[in-house]
Amino acid sequence: MSIYNNLNKKLLPKHIAIIMDGNGRWAKELGKNRYYGHVQGIKSIKKTVDAIIKLKIPYLTLFAFSKENWNRPKKEVNLLMNLFMSTIIENQDHFYNKKIKITTIGELNDLPKQCQKALIEMMNKTKNNAVLNLTLALSYSSRTEITQAVQKMLNEEKPKNSAEISEALLSSYLQTKGIPDPELLIRTSGERRVSNFLLWQIAFSELYFSEKKWPDFNEEELYMAIFEFQKRERRFGKTTDQLKNEIN
C-alpha cells in the first residue's frame, strides 16, 4: 500500500525544496559513467513533479546545479548544460500543459547562451500558470544570493540609519522574493549537509535526509519524507505545552 494513503492532506507543506544528490555515485555503482546518472536523474524529477502536483503542493524548488559545481571537470559540466537545455526544450509543452510555472534562482548569466535562451523561453511560456511554482536553482549559491541582496538593498534604499534594515526588507531583495520559505528540505544520497542552498530561507525548515540516491528517488520516497515531516513538532522556539494551548 502506498504511504500516500497515510498522509494527512490537511497538513501538507506548501513548499518543498530538494537537494538532488547522488547521481554520480548511483551510476558508478552500476559501472556506468556519471553522465548516465544525470540522465536517470531527470526521470526522478518528472516523477517528483507529478507527485507534488497530485498532492496539490504549490511550490517546489530543485537544486540542479550549484555555483561550486562549475569546478567539476569541464566535460561533466558541458554534458550537464546540454542535458539541462535538451530537457527544457523537450518538456516545454509538457510543463505548459501541466500548468507549471517555471522560474529560476542563481546566476543565469553564467549558463551557456543557448541554455539561457531555452530557460527564458520556458519562463515566458509558463508565466501565467498557477498549479505548481517550480523553481530551478541553477548556478546557485546562497551566500552569493545574500551578498547580492545586501548590495542591491543598500544601493536602492540608501538607508540613513542601519536600523531601517529589517529581516523583511532584506528578504524582499533575495531571489526567492514572493516564494514562501520551504517547510521541508529534502536531501538525497545520505549526505547530511546543505551545501550552500537556501541558507536564509531554511531557518525553520524541517530537514529530511533520504538514503536513496537521486535516480532512485520516486513518489514513495517523497511521500515518506512528508510522512516523517508530519510527525515532527515544529515549535519555532516555543514549548510543547504552549503549542497545545494554542490549538485548544
Active-site residue, selected from the candidate residues 33, 50, 69, 82: 69
Q: Is 50 a catalytic residue?
A: no
Partner touching 66 among ligand IPE, Mg ion, none, CB below 5 to 8 Å by kind: ligand IPE
CB under 8 Å, gap of 24 or more: what pairs does 36-45 form?
Answer: 37/213, 37/214, 37/215, 38/79, 38/80, 38/83, 39/83, 40/215, 41/214, 41/215, 42/83, 42/87, 43/215, 44/20, 44/214, 44/215, 44/216, 44/217, 44/218, 45/20
- Does 181 qualify as catalytic in the annotation? no
Radius of gyration of the chain (CA): 19
- By beta-carbon proximity to ligand IPE, the closer residue of 13 and 22 is 22
Q: Which of 5, 6, 8, 21 is catalytic?
A: 21
Q: What is the dihedral sign for C-alpha 211, 214, 215, 219?
A: positive
Q: Which of 16, 21, 55, 106 binds Mg ion (CB under 5 A)?
A: 21
- Of the candidate spans 18-26, 45-53, 91-99, 159-167, the one that interacts with Mg ion by CB under 5 A turns out to be 18-26
Nearest to 132 by CA among 8, 4, 14, 2: 14
- Nearest-approach distance from CB 27 to ligand IPE, in angstroms: 8
Q: Which lies closer to ligand IPE via its Cβ, residue 50 or residue 191?
A: 191
Quick one: 140 or 173, whose CB is closer to ligand IPE? 140
Q: Closest-CB residue for Mg ion?
A: 21
Q: Kindly list the catalytic residues.
A: 21, 69
Question: Site residues (CB under 5 A) for Mg ion?
Answer: 21
